[in-house]
Chains A and B, each alone.
Chain A
Amino acid sequence: MTGPAPRFERPADVVRRLGEVQYLADERIGTTVYLADRLGKPVLVEGPAGTGKTELAKAVAAITGSRLIRLQCHEGLDEAKALYEWDYRKQLLALQLERGGDGGPPEWGEVAAGIFSEPFLLERPLLAAIRADDPVVLLIDEVDRVEVETEALFLEVLAEHQVSIPELGTMHARQVPFVVLTSNDTRALSEALKRRCLYLHLDYPTLERERAIVLAKVPGISEHLADEVARIVASLRSLELEKRPSISETLDWAQALVLLEIDRLDATSAAGTLNLLLKHRGDLEAAAAALEGVAR
């Protein structure tokens, strides 16, 4: 690949540096990020909500000193919002101005060349990432929200690092942006998109990793409480729940426990604060019952 020097020395280097910005990566994350940089390929991060997919992009931006450009996907996303748009108001003004001049009616070719040029181009995130001079991390968030047909918009940028604009020609990347796509797995993404990406599945963390995350992210928490929080959350995830607690909810809960100065969890204090962890009535009932040792 063209572009600047690689961002990382080795996979372990990624893990260490991510750790410095409080993102606790395992070696799978480290290796995938490392390869994404070396091979110049985007990373598709898939997994349940709240497991640190978006955070990963932010952390990578932080450790590489890159600017984060974010494209939030939603249903009905189109070219004008993702790639580029012509600033038609400015174009109209320019036409008015030319007509007001005294050189007689201008040639159409000149006019067209004039108004379809750089100054009239509105950059949207994908084009902005391609044309950036400084290092950037491009985050395409929640790709699964756009329709399958819209995914095609991303393909050229992802594979070739270029954007074709009919009036201007093809814009090539000045440097290879680090691209992260996230998906909550609400639908299967197209094969074409997946083929162009490295795949990283971020699931709920292991007990040890979650404990470490709680310790790193919640100031003032004792090691003992972090351990219990991680254990109880792991226990709750094994129940049959509508929506299992995510890492971000674990952190909210741990934070609340610290604020409430609860340092010892028992069934009552846990059940009283469970609403930070679980957001469905049925889940709350099931969890409270399980924590009190009632068999369901």
Chain B
Amino acid sequence: MLASLTELADELRRAGLPVSLTESLDAAAALSALPLEHRDDVRAALAATLVKSAAHLPVFETLFDVYFPATVGAGSGPAVEPIGMDAGTDAGPSSSGGAGAGTGEGDGVGLEPGQLAGLVAEALAGGDLRQLRLAAALAVQALAGIEASRPVGVAYYLARTLRQLDLETTLDGLVQAVLARPVDEAPPPGAPRRPPGPLGERLVREEYARRARSLVAAIEAEILRRLVEDRGAAAVAGTVRRPLAEDVDVMHASREQLAELRRALGPLARVLAARLARRRRHHRRGPLDFRHTLRASLSAGGVPIEPKFRSPHPSKPELVVLADISGSVAAFARFTLHLLYALDAQFAKVRSFVFIDEIDEVTGILRAAASLPEAVARMASEANVAGGDGHSDYGRALVAFRSRYADAVGPRSNLLVLGDARNNYHPAEAGVLEELHRRARRVYWLNPEPRAYWGSGDSIVSSYAPFCDGVVECRTLRQLEAFVDALA
């Protein structure tokens, strides 16, 4: 147990989690304080001691399964003994032909694909967790075709199994069957009721989607278990490694990852706002107030024991954001828009501009929109950002910005430019940025490209860089956080 714990801690560190020695020791102490009866207790104990952030929990969950695999047949583990087989066989041994029969090259139990489909459908219809696990185990056995010691990951076998299972069709059939029933008729055991209306339909669909998710999770767990059995934990751990949410490259993030990033952005904007506000409050001392100091010194016989300071002008930091939303940074642009929206909710005074080769102010849209999707939709339809050929032209956007919104940038403004500075070989007009830099309090450039690519091809970061107080690579949430940290 202790050996597994050390290996798990090592692997978590390799995955990027900050697991210190204290945490490892706590985990060991936790295990010895625990009556080791249930695997779930062990899992909870290790999660509480080793993982200190919700964003890291998924990584932990997977690796826990790798290093502390469920034993076959123990308690709720998937038993491969055909307990419920007779229930599934009536689906017809050759109902859907032998199309996929040959693919299960593993240690097949002689289950026809049609039989399996029936079993899976039944498990989904019943919604019983044990039955779902059994179906998952059988599906993996028949369809995954796990080959001994072949170095591929869980995802490969999972995709292979799911492709052959064709869950969508099964689910759709089940949903239709429920919807076909009269409203509020007593349902057969395990099946959801049929509530009325489109709301009811929505709930039925979601119920089956939920069951399907637990089936997929069970299949994944079963594949993982088999792989660990075959190759050992250390080898499998390498194949399930995924980047942490904060290290996901924004440019290549998947939809789920983007959603995760978006959730993290709100707090970050709050931090940024709070930091700037606190900075104001903490630096409350202005220049020496000579008159006041002299007066105060009278009570000490003319010795200026306590110097008095003028309270400073209440400077309100303003934020002006210019964001490139062209195709080349499409993924980053979405991220940018989320950031804009989050910033706008936190700062009293933000002016937001978006551009491709024409620039337009979107402050009003962001403020009026009730929700983020609405804001994004309205920005896409109402903001006038494409003037010429629809490729980003930083020079032209800057010139237009100076001529139309020159009043936006003053001595209190922090100017934030978001974009990759890929100018499609148009003139840079760096002079405009120089002028803005002179007028603004600070100018920062956040670039979503890896630093190594800067200056290659049509990237002209280097022409703008001299006029920025900081040019920062900003591809991951971690980097954005670091920027916010450094700013305040």
A11 near B197 (CB under 8 angstroms)? no
Neighbouring B residues of A187 by C-beta, 8 Å: 267, 270-271, 274
B267 near A185 (CB under 8 angstroms)? yes
Q: Is B105 an interface residue (CB 8 A)?
A: no
Q: Is A293 an interface residue (CB 8 A)?
A: yes
Rounded to whole Å, the gap between the CB of A27 and the closest CB of chain B is 5
Number of interface residues of A (CB under 8 A): 55
Contact of A201 among B23, B35, B57, B200 (CB under 8 A): B57
Contact of A293 among B26, B47, B48, B202 (CB under 8 A): B202
Contact of B203 among A41, A46, A231 (CB under 8 A): A231
Rounded to whole Å, the gap between the CB of A183 and the closest CB of chain B is 10
Stretch at the interface among A122-130, A132-140, A247-255, A279-287: A279-287
A200 near B373 (CB under 8 angstroms)? no
B199 near A198 (CB under 8 angstroms)? no
Q: Is B479 an interface residue (CB 8 A)?
A: no
Of all chain B residues, the one with the shortest Cβ separation from A294 is B198
Neighbouring A residues of B202 by C-beta, 8 Å: 235, 290-291, 293
Assembled-state Cα–Cα distance A270/B22 (Å): 50
Chain B facing A: main interface SS:
helix
Rounded to whole Å, the gap between the CB of B189 and the closest CB of chain A is 16
Q: Is A107 an interface residue (CB 8 A)?
A: no
Neighbouring A residues of B207 by C-beta, 8 Å: 231
A185 near B54 (CB under 8 angstroms)? yes
Of all chain B residues, the one with the shortest Cβ separation from A290 is B202
Rounded to whole Å, the gap between the CB of B339 and the closest CB of chain A is 16
Q: Is B374 an interface residue (CB 8 A)?
A: yes
Neighbouring B residues of A285 by C-beta, 8 Å: 370
Stretch at the interface among B38-46, B299-307, B447-455: B38-46
B195 near A228 (CB under 8 angstroms)? yes
A11 near B371 (CB under 8 angstroms)? no
Of all chain B residues, the one with the shortest Cβ separation from A10 is B35
Neighbouring A residues of B35 by C-beta, 8 Å: 10-11
Of all chain A residues, the one with the shortest Cβ separation from B195 is A228
A292 near B34 (CB under 8 angstroms)? no
Neighbouring B residues of A238 by C-beta, 8 Å: 206
B44 near A28 (CB under 8 angstroms)? yes
Q: Is A81 an interface residue (CB 8 A)?
A: no
User: Contacts A266-B196, A267-B197, A293-B198 hold; do A11 and B34 have CB atoms under 8 A apart?
Assistant: yes
Neighbouring B residues of A198 by C-beta, 8 Å: 26, 48-49
A35 near B372 (CB under 8 angstroms)? no
A11 near B48 (CB under 8 angstroms)? no
Q: Which B positions have Cβ atoms within 8 angstroms of A?
A: 18, 20, 22-23, 26, 29-30, 33-35, 37-38, 40-41, 44-45, 47-49, 51-54, 57, 195-203, 206-207, 210, 267, 270-271, 274, 278, 369-374, 481
Q: Which A positions have Cβ atoms within 8 angstroms of B?
A: 10-11, 27-28, 30-32, 34-35, 38-39, 41, 43-44, 46-47, 147, 185-188, 191, 194-195, 197-201, 203, 207, 228, 231-232, 234-235, 238, 240-242, 265-267, 270, 280-283, 285-286, 290-293, 296
13 additional A-B residue pairs with CB within 8 Å, beyond A31-B34, A266-B197, A267-B197: A11-B34, A28-B44, A32-B45, A34-B34, A39-B29, A199-B52, A228-B203, A231-B203, A240-B372, A241-B371, A242-B371, A266-B200, A280-B371
20 intermolecular pairs with C-beta atoms under 8 Å apart: A10-B37, A11-B41, A27-B40, A28-B47, A35-B33, A39-B30, A41-B26, A47-B54, A187-B270, A187-B271, A194-B52, A197-B52, A198-B48, A201-B57, A231-B206, A232-B199, A240-B372, A242-B372, A280-B371, A293-B201
